[in-house]
């Protein structure tokens, strides 16, 4: 019996790539069915949270345009940081914008818009 | 590598080197003249055959490589040409030898194409060496002390050029072509863009080329040929154009028309402006920079909503909340997947902007002025006809070069006149009608060609050509506008006519609106050209439609199919009936008929408010640190128009655009405060931001919509608080 056998050199070692941890899509889970797309944005940490936090957003108005804008921007930045902690501000904005064209999100956006519209007569009655 | 590490076949190398040594050599006696070998002419012909039947037929570059290694051009051909004195024109043998030399030099200096379909492993092996070899050839040829090689080339073609066009044989035509190609190659060779050339750039720079062209009287040849185009010369038009193209491309026109003193002044002020810019940049860096050593170890907590905390390290985090936010952002490393940029094969064609020295500047300016006076109309008229009839000698890149050159010379004409006028304001230039000099590109046929090229290059996605077309369009608009302002009465009438024709076709309006709306990832040059065209088109059309209140445009009727669809979607009853009537008519004809209707500028403008257009201009503005004042003004006017003239400021309310505006004025990399347009921008941004916060308070739902692109209907509702009343919905 050759010595090499004892060392196990001749035995075939299975070289297999370790499965990579799937790259989580920040905006959506693409492999899930299309209906669930954009669900993180519509989930509790998404738009509802944004609207809830907006109640604390105050602007100073005329003469303070730039500080107001700064406040507004950091408001969005903090919200996005909670929503997609990995992505940079501008990248996250681009992602959200992209998801904005998904049907579910469009529907949700329209609902929000309709809340703001003057209500038709029959509902008032 | 084949054989013993040699990259070309050893036999090929042996053949070539024996041929080169049989060509001749430097005599050993004192004067060191070049002695021709006994069969020099045959040797030259053999070399030519090797190039043609080995390199070109089998698509290799081995012979060219061997010739480069044997130093044929510098060591043999140039000394041979030196021995062809100017008074020896009658020496038949000598002129034959000279011609044979050029027949070799033309293929050796031919521009290299990186056409992926045709490239073999040999191309990849030889191209980098041969590109550098060509640069060396150019350096040797235009700086050769012993003789004026370019001039010698023209001399070789003179007998053929002197003949009337009808008497020229095919061989004569070939000689003229050959020499023009030689000049073209000399003009077009430039060091490869990745900076592999380590020789002295000043020997091969554009300035050196222009100097050589001027000193060797090539400009005269070009002027003669251009002004006789269509009479003594016909198929040479595109090659002459190519030579001029490679000479003037990317030359800055406003610098061209400065004299030496002004040029020095401009360069000095440019330098001081750059230094100031750098100082400001350093100062802003310093303000952010640490005041203690880098291991000082500051660490802070940032309190956030919902009782969360984030930690940040470094002293600069203490500065203010903007810096903190930026720091938190910069610490993130994730990058979303992006598609790789496509490698553009035309990328190296235009190259960077060219800086000329004062001497070359003068020489080129003289050439440009003389060319506009004599050669502009004949040459460009002729090439336009060549393009229209799609002549066999027309290549794909000629169209692009044509539009580029027309734009360049129109601008040069305008700038040149302005400079002249400011230098001597008393001289009235009404006696010479200046616009006649460029009338060749202001006729109806030109507009048809231009329009067709605009549509075709857009459809074919040929962005480089489309860039050239858009620049040309812009320059024509500007020239015509100047005609209405400065010209005498005749000129004004002509200009009115031209404008009415330019603005008559609604298809053109559509094309321009489409181009700007569908911008995506093209190069900056394209972006610049597109925004420039839109800016001037809107501006001049606005002025024109104000003057001509009942302006008419021709528009195409919608095709029947579309109407049917619209009917299905529940249009009003009246419309549906009309459609039915239409469909009863001849179907094909219905699709093609066109009608006239009154032009409504405000409505037309609303085509430039969709999100796509806003995004394009926002992308353009993102380069604000590098934009010139003119470009900044262009963006400023556009946003002003959208927000306040069209009343669609809501289109600008998206977080990334607001962020862009904010950082432009207040961010760490803000717009240069001393820039002349800083005040304008600050005011505009301030107004927009104020309007934005007001709108948010008015309509809280905007907070969500601020994240997304908006369609017109949504934007209208947010802006005015009610649905837009449209005819179809009534």
Q: Give yes or no for residue B347 having a pLDDT over 50.
A: yes
Of B523, B141, B130, B474, the closest CA to residue B352 belongs to B523
Residues composing chain B: 730
Alpha helices for chain A (secondary structure H): 3-7, 39-42, 47-54, 65-83, 89-99, 103-116, 121-124
Q: Give yes or no for residue B68 having a pLDDT over 90.
A: yes
Q: Give yes or no for residue A125 having a pLDDT over 60.
A: no
**Interface probe, candidates B307, B329, B706, chain A, greatest A C-beta count within 10 A:** B329
**Interface probe, candidates B331, B668, B701, B713, chain A, greatest A C-beta count within 10 A:** B701
Query: CA-CA distance, B31 to B589, in Å (whole number)?
Result: 83
Do residues B461 and B526 lie in contact, with contact meaning Cβ atoms separated by under 8 Å? no
A25 in reach of chain B (CB within 8 A) = no
A45 in reach of chain B (CB within 8 A) = no
A52 in reach of chain B (CB within 8 A) = no
Do residues B138 and B189 lie in contact, with contact meaning Cβ atoms separated by under 8 Å? yes
3-state secondary structure B322-354: HHHHHHHHHCCCCCCCCCCCCCCCCHHHHCCCE
> Which residues in A lie closer than 8 A to residue B714 (C-beta atoms)?
113
Q: A63-77, B69-83, B136-150, B350-364 — which is least confidently predicted?
A: B350-364
CB-closest option in A82, A86, A113 to B334: A86
Q: Give yes or no for residue A34 having a pLDDT over 80.
A: no
Q: Cβ contacts of residue B182 below 8 Å, gap of 6+?
A: B102, B105, B106, B109, B150, B153
Alpha helices for B143-252 (secondary structure H): 149-162, 170-188, 206-215, 218-227, 237-248
How confident is the model at residue B580, as a pLDDT? 46
Q: Give the best-scoring range by mean pLDDT among A7-21, B61-75, B252-266, B662-676.
A: B61-75
CB-closest option in B325, B689, B701 to A116: B701
Q: Give yes or no for residue A6 having a pLDDT over 70.
A: no
Q: Cα-atom radius of gyration of chain B, to the nearest Å?
A: 31
Query: What is the count of residue pairs from A and B with beta carbons less than 8 Å apart?
Result: 116
Do residues B653 and B715 lie in contact, with contact meaning Cβ atoms separated by under 8 Å? no
Q: Are the Cβ atoms of B662 and A69 closer than 8 angstroms?
A: yes
Q: Are the Cβ atoms of B662 and A91 closer than 8 angstroms?
A: no
List the end-to-end C-alpha distance of chain B, in Å, as a whole number: 77
A68 in reach of chain B (CB within 8 A) = yes
B526 in reach of chain A (CB within 8 A) = no
Q: Are the Cβ atoms of B329 and A65 closer than 8 angstroms?
A: no
Query: CA-CA distance, B244 to B233, in Å (whole number)?
Result: 16
How confident is the model at residue A62, as a pLDDT? 82
Q: Are the Cβ atoms of B658 and A115 closer than 8 angstroms?
A: no
Q: Are the Cβ atoms of B336 and A91 closer than 8 angstroms?
A: yes
Query: CA-CA distance, B687 to B707, in Å (whole number)?
Result: 20
Q: Are the Cβ atoms of B701 and A115 closer than 8 angstroms?
A: yes
Do residues B678 and B672 lie in contact, with contact meaning Cβ atoms separated by under 8 Å? yes
CB-closest option in A97, A112, A118 to B709: A97
> Which residues in A lie closer than 8 A to residue B332 (C-beta atoms)?
86-88
Query: CA-CA distance, B529 to B471, in Å (whole number)?
Result: 6
Q: A76-90, B454-468, B523-537 — which is least confidently predicted?
A: A76-90
> Phi and psi (nearest 5°) for B309?
-130, 145
B234 in reach of chain A (CB within 8 A) = no
How confident is the model at residue B589, as a pLDDT? 53
> A65 CA to chain B: closest CA distance, Å?
5
Q: At what angle do helices B218-227 and B206-215 cross, to 10 degrees?
A: 80
> Which residues in A lie closer than 8 A to residue B681 (C-beta atoms)?
none
Give the nearest chain A residue to B720 (CA atoms): A117
Give the containing element (helix H, strand E) for B299.
Answer: strand B299-303
| More reliable by pLDDT, A115 or B324 | B324
Q: Cα-atom radius of gyration of chain A, to the nearest Å?
A: 25
User: ipTM greater than 0.90, yes or no?
Assistant: no
**Residue B556, helix vs strand vs coil:** strand
Q: What pLDDT, in 10s, does the model give residues B325-334?
A: 888 899 988 8
**Interface probe, candidates B330, B611, B708, chain A, greatest A C-beta count within 10 A:** B708
| More reliable by pLDDT, B706 or B85 | B706
B707 in reach of chain A (CB within 8 A) = yes
Label residue B429 left, alpha or beta by phi (over 0 means left) and psi (-120 to 50 means alpha): alpha
Do residues B671 and B625 lie in contact, with contact meaning Cβ atoms separated by under 8 Å? yes
Do residues A19 and A13 lie in contact, with contact meaning Cβ atoms separated by under 8 Å? no
Query: CA-CA distance, B558 to B591, in Å (whole number)?
Result: 7
A55 in reach of chain B (CB within 8 A) = no
CA-to-CA separations, B669 to B594, B628, B666, B680, in angstroms, rounded: 52, 16, 8, 18
B558 in reach of chain A (CB within 8 A) = no
Q: Cβ contacts of residue B694 below 8 Å, gap of 6+?
A: A61
How confident is the model at residue B458, as a pLDDT? 95
Chain centre distance of CA B60: 32
**Confidence class of residue B46 from pLDDT cuts 50, 70 and 90?**
very high
Do residues B109 and B134 lie in contact, with contact meaning Cβ atoms separated by under 8 Å? yes
**Residue B600, helix vs strand vs coil:** coil
Q: Give yes or no for residue A37 having a pLDDT over 70.
A: no
CA-to-CA separations, B705 to A47, A85, A113, B701, in angstroms, rounded: 10, 22, 9, 7
Do residues B50 and B8 lie in contact, with contact meaning Cβ atoms separated by under 8 Å? no
Enter the DSSP assignment of B317: G
DSSP string, B97-133: HHHHHHHHHHHHTPPP---TTT--HHHHHHHHHHHHH
CB-closest option in A56, A68, A109 to B708: A109
- In this prediction the pTM is 0.87
**Residue B33, helix vs strand vs coil:** coil
**Confidence class of residue A20 from pLDDT cuts 50, 70 and 90?**
confident
Q: Are the Cβ atoms of B655 and A93 closer than 8 angstroms?
A: yes
Q: What pLDDT, in 10s, does the model give residues B654-671?
A: 999 999 999 999 887 888
Q: For chain B, what percent of residues have pLDDT higher than 90?
A: 51
Pairing label, strands B34-36, B24-26: antiparallel
A9 in reach of chain B (CB within 8 A) = no
**Residue B196, helix vs strand vs coil:** coil
Q: Give yes or no for residue B534 having a pLDDT over 70.
A: yes
Q: What pLDDT, in 10s, does the model give residues B404-447?
A: 999 999 999 999 888 888 887 665 555 456 788 899 999 999 99
């Amino acid at each position: 019996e050759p010595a090499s056998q004892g060392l196990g050199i001749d035995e075939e070692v299975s070289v297999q790539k370790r499965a990579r941890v799937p790259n989580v899509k920040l905006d959506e889970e693409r492999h899930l069915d299309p209906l669930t797309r954009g669900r993180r944005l519509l989930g509790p940490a998404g738009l509802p949270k944004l609207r809830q936090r907006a109640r604390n957003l105050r602007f100073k108005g005329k003469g303070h345009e730039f500080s107001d804008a700064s406040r507004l921007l950091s408001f969005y930045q903090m919200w996005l940081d909670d929503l997609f902690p990995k992505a940079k501000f501008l990248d996250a904005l681009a992602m959200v914008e992209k998801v904005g064209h998904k049907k579910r999100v469009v529907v949700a956006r329209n609902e929000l818009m309709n809340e703001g519209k003057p209500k038709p007569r029959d509902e008032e009655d | 590598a084949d054989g013993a590490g040699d990259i070309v076949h050893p036999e090929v190398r042996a053949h070539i080197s024996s041929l080169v040594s049989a060509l001749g050599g430097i005599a050993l006696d004192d004067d060191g003249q070049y002695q021709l070998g006994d069969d020099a002419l045959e040797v030259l012909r053999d070399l030519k055959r090797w190039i043609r039947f080995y390199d070109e037929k089998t698509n290799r570059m081995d012979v060219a490589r061997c010739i480069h290694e044997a130093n044929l051009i510098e060591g043999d051909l140039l000394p041979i040409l030196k021995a062809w004195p100017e008074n020896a024109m009658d020496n038949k043998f000598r002129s034959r030898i000279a011609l044979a030399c050029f027949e070799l030099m033309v293929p050796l200096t031919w521009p290299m194409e990186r056409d992926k379909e045709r490239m073999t492993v040999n191309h990849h092996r030889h191209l980098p060496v041969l590109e550098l070899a060509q640069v060396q050839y150019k350096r040797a040829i235009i700086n050769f002390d012993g003789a004026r090689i370019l001039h010698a080339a023209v001399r070789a073609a003179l007998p053929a050029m002197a003949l009337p066009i009808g008497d020229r044989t095919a061989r004569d035509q070939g000689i003229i072509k050959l020499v023009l190609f030689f000049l073209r190659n000399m003009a077009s060779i430039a060091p490869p863009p990745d900076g592999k050339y380590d020789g002295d750039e000043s020997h091969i720079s554009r300035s050196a080329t222009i100097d050589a062209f001027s000193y060797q009287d090539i400009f005269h040849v070009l002027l003669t040929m251009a002004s006789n185009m269509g009479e003594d010369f016909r198929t040479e038009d595109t090659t002459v154009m190519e030579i001029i193209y490679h000479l003037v491309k990317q030359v800055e026109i406003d610098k061209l028309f400065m004299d030496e003193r002004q040029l020095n002044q401009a360069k000095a002020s440019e330098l001081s402006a750059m230094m100031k810019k750098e100082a400001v940049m350093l100062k802003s860096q310093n303000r952010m920079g640490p005041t203690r050593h880098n291991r000082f170890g500051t660490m802070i907590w940032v309190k956030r909503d919902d009782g969360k905390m984030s930690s940040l390290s470094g002293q600069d985090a203490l500065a203010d909340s903007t810096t903190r936010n930026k720091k938190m952002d910069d610490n993130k490393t994730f990058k979303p997947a992006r598609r790789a940029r496509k490698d553009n094969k035309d990328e190296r064609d235009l190259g960077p902007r060219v800086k000329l020295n004062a001497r070359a500047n003068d020489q080129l300016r003289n050439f440009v002025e003389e060319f506009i006076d004599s050669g502009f109309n004949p040459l460009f008229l002729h090439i336009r006809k060549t393009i229209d009839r799609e002549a066999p000698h027309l290549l794909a890149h000629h169209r692009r070069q044509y539009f580029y050159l027309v734009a360049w010379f129109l601008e040069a004409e305008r700038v040149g006149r302005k400079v002249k006028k400011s230098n001597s304001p008393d001289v009235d230039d009404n006696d010479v009608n200046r616009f006649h000099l460029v009338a060749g590109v202001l006729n109806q046929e030109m507009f048809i060609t231009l329009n067709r090229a605009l549509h075709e290059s857009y459809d074919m996605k040929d962005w480089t050509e489309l860039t050239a077309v858009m620049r040309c369009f812009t320059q024509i608009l500007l020239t015509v506008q100047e005609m209405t302002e400065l010209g005498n009465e005749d000129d004004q009438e002509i200009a009115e006519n031209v404008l009415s024709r330019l603005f008559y076709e609604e298809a053109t309006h559509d094309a321009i609106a489409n181009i700007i709306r569908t911008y995506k990832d093209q190069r900056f040059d394209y972006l610049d050209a597109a925004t420039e065209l839109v800016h001037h088109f809107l501006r001049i059309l606005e002025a024109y439609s104000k003057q001509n209140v009942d302006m008419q445009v021709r528009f195409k009727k919608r095709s029947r199919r579309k109407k049917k669809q619209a009917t299905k979607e529940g249009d009003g009853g009246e419309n549906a009936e009309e459609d039915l009537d239409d469909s009863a008519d001849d179907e094909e004809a219905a699709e093609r008929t066109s009608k006239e209707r009154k032009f409504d500028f405000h409505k037309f403008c609303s085509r430039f408010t969709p999100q796509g257009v806003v995004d394009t201009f926002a992308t353009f503005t993102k380069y604000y640190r590098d934009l010139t004042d003119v470009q900044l003004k262009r963006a400023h006017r556009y946003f002003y128009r959208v927000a306040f003239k069209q009343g669609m400021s809501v289109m600008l309310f998206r977080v990334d655009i607001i962020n862009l505006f904010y950082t432009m004025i207040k961010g760490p990399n803000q717009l240069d405060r001393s820039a002349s347009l800083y005040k304008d921008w600050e005011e505009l941004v301030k107004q927009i931001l104020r309007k934005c916060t007001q709108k948010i308070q008015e309509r809280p739902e905007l907070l969500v919509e601020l994240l997304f692109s908006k369609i017109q209907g949504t934007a209208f509702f947010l802006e005015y608080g009610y649905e837009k009343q449209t005819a179809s919905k009534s």
